[in-house]
Structure 1
Amino acid sequence: MGDLGRALPLYQRTLEDRERVQGTDHPDTLTSRNNLAYAYLTAGELSRALPLFECTLEDRERVQGIDHPDTLASRDNLAGAYETVGDLGRALPLYQRTLEDRERVLGTDHPDTLASRNNLAYTYLTAGDLSRALPLFECTLEDRERVLGTDHPDTLTSRNNLGGAYRRAGDLSRALPLYERTLEDRERVLGTDHPDTLASRNNLAHAYLTAGDLSRALPLFERALEDCERVLRPGHPMTAGVRASLKHARST
């Protein structure tokens, strides 16, 4: 719900209580440490999130083993935290190792393996390495459609991400249909007010703007802003981003 003011104290207390009652090395305690780190990351408190992710990975490797699914999840989470702070030099090797390990331990079709493939592709895209990002996005979408189904939220995320990669590559003829389909599917599957649906509406508006189609872009930006202001918490980053995009589109 985005109510971090209530979530953080609960995560903090749960971690303290689990450390006291179950011990610092209990798997549930390690899960609490991971959850608190993720909440700090969501709140933008990176100076608190990163050390927690790092120590949780170290502890899980020691207590549960390097191949345990929870350890692989911690490695993936730490990579995501490094990516958030812009440290791609640390994020990429962790994502690459996690994908290799998940393929070996969980199998190539496991949902966590597919998530790792998507995360690695997204990091390549962030690094500007389209030659690696695009094939990974394409195969991840194909695999998720086959394994999870065309309407699964993760499949819709892959479709959205592939559209973004094509847009970044300047291939609007491929990007626009993917964005249009993703918005339609998310409205149908997740509902018109789901945050992912709002993101799709904003992404499609951006693609129309890039294509020079202001007659389609402006109404989408306006609706996306109205919906974000109504649905999301005050000061949400997505709302600020949509507002800036609408302002830019109106000045174009």
Structure 2
Amino acid sequence: MNIDTAICMKSSTPFAEVSKVSFFEGKEEEILFSTHTIFRINRIERIPDEHTDRLWQVNLTLAGNQDDDFSKLTAHLREKLNWAKGWPQLGSILIQLGEPAKAEHLYQILIETAPSDKARGGYNHMLGMVYNRLGEYSKAITFYERALDIKEKTVPQNLPDLAGSYNNIGNVYGNMGEYSKALSSHERSLEIDRKALPPNHPDLASDYNNIGSVYYNMGEYSKALSSYERSLEIKKIALPPNHPDLATSYNNIGLVYDNMGEYSKALSSYERSLEIQNIALPPNHPDLAASYNNIGLVYDNMGEYSKALSSY
């Protein structure tokens, strides 16, 4: 572990060297950090161990409040979760943690006790998200449209909240294979966001990405590529440089080039996606496996079978 004293002087995170008062006094170095301390992971490497072969060393550097990447990520997360407090925010976090069934139970209770129509609309929206994650698409459409109906009566027109509803309805139609309906919803979302948001807002990147996905599924690869590249341009400005959403954009662009038979461009995009994932994700994350598989498929299509086998 590395601790930069220059960072420490500017940081609001307290810590103390406690080796002299430790039970193991003089035998090891011990530093006590406060609970909200943030570290940058430099590298993770296996430690040889003849007994279990399960030991890993994680090399960390203390990250202060002045760290640019940390500041950007914190601002992004605050904005992403800013719509809700308390129990509603917990439901949103449960969805992001992959626990939609628990979130469903919570939002059903919240709808019954909602203090206003506006709150009820928000909870219906989140239930739509839950059912989409659970693959119950007809229920998802029902709750999203119910939320949209409430929002249209309770909030000003062209507010980003309305765009979010159209966007999510489009995602469900896309999952159902109803691409014309999906495209119409995503384009309505983009229309609202372009009027309501700054030109490099992350929600615009999401709109362009979703439109690109619809065109990709319809086999209109040039239109898909154009939308994916516009999404990536915005993400490069709006997000930290190694945010997983950037990896998603590079992966999507790689998929388009792959289907267009432009394998060298596809390979370049997949490798850039993998490079970001290796920094941003845990070493055994499923997205890493998907990236290696995509790289293997490209090498396979290029006839470089030994490289394909290595990636597979």
TM-score, normalised by the number of residues in structure 1 = 0.78
Partner of 2:219: 128
Pick the structure with greater CA Rg: 2
Counterpart selection for 1:76 from 164, 167, 181: 167
What's the CA shift for 1:152? Answer: 2.2
Is residue 86 from structure 1 mapped to residue 177 from structure 2 by the alignment?
Answer: yes
Counterpart selection for 1:2 from 94, 98, 110: 98
Greater Cα offset, 187-196 or 64-73: 187-196
What's the CA shift for 1:149? Answer: 4.4
Partner of 1:67: 158
Counterpart selection for 1:33 from 118, 121, 124: 124
Q: CA RMSD in A?
A: 2.0
Cα distance in 1 for partners of 2:199, 2:236 equals 14
Structure 1 unmatched runs, 5+: 222-252
Partner of 1:228: none
| Runs ≥4 residues deviating over 4 A | none
Once the two structures are superposed, what CA deviation does each residue of 1:40-71 show, in whole Å capped at 9, x if it has no partner?
11111112111111111121112113311111
Partner of 1:11: 107
Relative distance call for 1:32 and 1:217 in structure 2 (3 A) is farther
Counterpart selection for 2:231 from 140, 145, 163: 140
Greater Cα offset, 8-17 or 94-103: 8-17
Q: Per residue, is there more strand in 1 or in 2?
A: 2
Counterpart selection for 2:192 from 101, 109, 113: 101
Cα distance in 2 for partners of 1:14, 1:218 equals 51
TM-score, normalised by the number of residues in structure 2 = 0.64
Percent identity between matched residues is: 34
Q: Per residue, is there more helix in 1 or in 2?
A: 1
Equivalent position SS for 1:109: coil
Relative distance call for 1:143 and 1:12 in structure 2 (3 A) is same
Cα distance in 1 for partners of 2:127, 2:243 equals 27
Paired letter, 1:206: L
For 1:139-158, what aligned pairs fall within 5 Å after superposition?
Answer: 139-158=230-249
Once the two structures are superposed, what CA deviation does each residue of 1:136-168 show, in whole Å capped at 9, x if it has no partner?
222322332233243222222211111111111
Cα distance in 2 for partners of 1:73, 1:147 equals 18
Structure 2 unmatched runs, 5+: 1-96
What's the CA shift for 1:207? Answer: 2.6
What's the CA shift for 1:74? Answer: 0.7
Partner of 1:185: 276
Greater Cα offset, 62-71 or 117-126: 62-71
Contact (CA 8 Å) 1:66, 1:72: kept in 2 or not? no
Contact (CA 8 Å) 1:150, 1:156: kept in 2 or not? no
